[in-house]
Amino acid sequence: MSQTTVAPVALVDKLAAAKHASIALATATSLQKNAALTAIAEGVVSSADEILAANELDLANGRENGLTTGLLDRLTLSTARLQGLADAVLEVVGLTDPIGQSVRGSTLPNGVAISQVRVPFGVVGAIYEARPNVTIDIAALAIKSGNAAVLRGGSAAIETNRVLVSVIQEALATAGLPADAVQTIDEFGRAGAGELMRARGYVDVLIPRGSADLIRTVVTESTVPVIETGAGVVHIVLDESAREDWAVDIVRNAKVQRPSVCNAVETLLVHRDAAERLLPPVLGALAASGVTVHADERALPYATDGVPVTEEDWATEHMSLDISVKVVDDLDEAIEHIRRYSTQHTESIITNDLANAERFLAQVDSAVVMVNASTRFTDGGEFGFGAEVGISTQKLHARGPMGLPELTSTKWIVRGSGQIRG
C-alpha cells in the first residue's frame, strides 16, 4: 500500500479541498483577488494583538526548546513587522496580475493564431521553519497568481501560523473566494510534511524554505516537483581598487543589519594588495558591531579578538554575528573560492575597476551577482515584487527572488477557423 493511501483522512480532505479551490481561484478576477489581499492586510493589522499573543507562545516554547538566536529572530513578530507584512501585501495588490499575460505568439500563414499565456500552477505547497512572515508572503503571492496554497510552517511557529491562516481564510471568504484556497497542515506534524512531499496529484509544485538540511530533505524525498530555494553561503570580494568607505559600509550592512537571513554575507575575500588598507577599518567596524571574525593566517593579524578560521567555516551559513575572512592573491583565487564553497545564492564585489566588475558578473554563477552593493538587496520586496516565495538557487524554471511570474506556468492557446494541416 502506498504512503499516500494511508495518509490521515483529514489531511487528504485538506489537499482535495485545496485542489478544488484552485479551480475557482484560477478564474478569479484581479478585482476579487485584490479585494482578498486588501482584506488580508487589514486583518493582519486589526488582529495584531491575537497574532502577537500567539507568537509569544511560540517564542516561549522556542526558548525552552533551545532554538538558536537566528531562528528566534526569524520567528519573532512585532507590531512593526506586522505592519511591514501588511504593507508588503498591499504592494502585491498594486502589481500587475500575471494571469493571462501573453508571453509570445504569432499568426501562421494559414491564419491560425497561436499564443503562449501565463496560467497558475494550481496548488503550491510550502514547507518552512520558524518563519511566520512566509505564511503571509506565500499566501499573498499565491492568491494574486491564482494558486491555492498548502502550508507546513513547522512546530516552532504553529500557534502564530494558526492565527495568520485564520485571518487569511476570513479575508478570502469576505472577497467571495474559497477559504480552502489557503490552509495549514501544521497539526499533522512531520508526518504531514512527509505526505505533502508525496502528494502528487494534489500538489503541483513544492517550495521548501529553511535550513540546508530541510531543503535537502525535500529535494531528495519529494515526488512532487520542487523549486529549490537555497541556503546562503554568501560572499563579498574586496578587490585592490575598492573604496574604503564603500567596503566598510557594505560589509557591515551585509553582515550586521539582520544576520539571521539568507542574504547576509558569510565570507569576506580580500585582495592581498588591499588587505593592509582595508582590513583594519572593515574588521574594526565589524568588531564594534559585535561580529566574531574567523580569519585565515593572513587576515588574522588585522582581526582584534579574531579566531582562526576552519575548513568547515568556509561552507557554513552562520546566521549569526560571525564572518569568515580570507586574503586572496588575485580575483582568480576569489572566484575559485566562490565556485568551491558558494551555495549560488548571492555574491558581490566592491571595486573601482570596470574590467574586474564585468569579469565578476560574467564568471560568478550565482542567482544574484552584484557590484558595489550590499547582498541584503537580494529580496523580493527590494526587487519590487512586493514579497517573495523564496530565493531560488536552482536553474530550472525560476532563479533568484521569486515573485508573481515565478508562480505561473504557461499554456499555448490556438485559435483557428477551420484550418487543417496539409
pLDDT of the chain, 422 residues: tens digit per residue? 344 444 445 899 999 999 999 999 999 999 999 999 999 999 999 999 999 999 999 999 999 999 988 889 989 999 999 999 999 999 999 999 999 999 999 999 999 999 999 999 999 999 998 899 999 999 999 999 999 999 999 899 999 999 999 999 999 999 999 999 999 999 999 999 999 999 999 999 999 988 788 888 999 999 999 998 878 999 999 999 999 999 999 999 999 999 988 999 999 999 999 999 999 999 999 999 999 999 999 999 999 899 999 999 999 999 899 999 999 999 999 999 999 999 999 999 999 999 999 999 999 999 999 999 999 999 988 998 877 888 998 888 889 999 999 999 999 999 999 999 98
Contact 266, 235 (CB under 8 A): yes
CB 260 within 8 A of CB 319: yes
Q: What is the dihedral of CA 93, 99, 103, 104, to 10 degrees?
A: -140
Q: What's the confidence (pLDDT) of residue 376?
A: 97
- Helices (H) and strands (E) in the chain — how many of each? 14, 16
Q: Which CATH class is domain 233-379?
A: alpha beta
Q: Alpha carbon of 379 to those of 5, 214, 289, 308: distances in Å?
A: 39, 21, 23, 32
Looking at residue 282, its amino acid is V
Distance (Å, whole) CA 89 – CA 93: 6
Which pLDDT does position 380 carry in this prediction? 87
The CATH code for residues 16-227+399-411 is 3.40.605.10
Q: Which whole-number Å values give the CA distances from 284 to 126, 280, 295, in the listed order? A: 41, 6, 13
Bridge partners, 391 (sequence order):
401
- pTM, two decimals, is 0.84
CA distance 152 to 210: 12
pLDDT of residue 123: 98
What is the Cα–Cα distance from 310 to 315, expressed in whole angstroms? 10
Residue boundaries of the structural domains of the chain: 16-227+399-411, 233-379
Give yes or no for a contact between 391 and 262, defined as CB atoms under 8 angstroms apart: yes
**3 state DSSP class of 332:** helix
Cα distance between residue 181 and residue 168, in whole Å: 9
Question: Do the domains 233-379 and 16-227+399-411 match in fold?
Answer: no
* 3-class secondary-structure state, position 102: strand
Whole-number CA gyration radius for the chain: 23
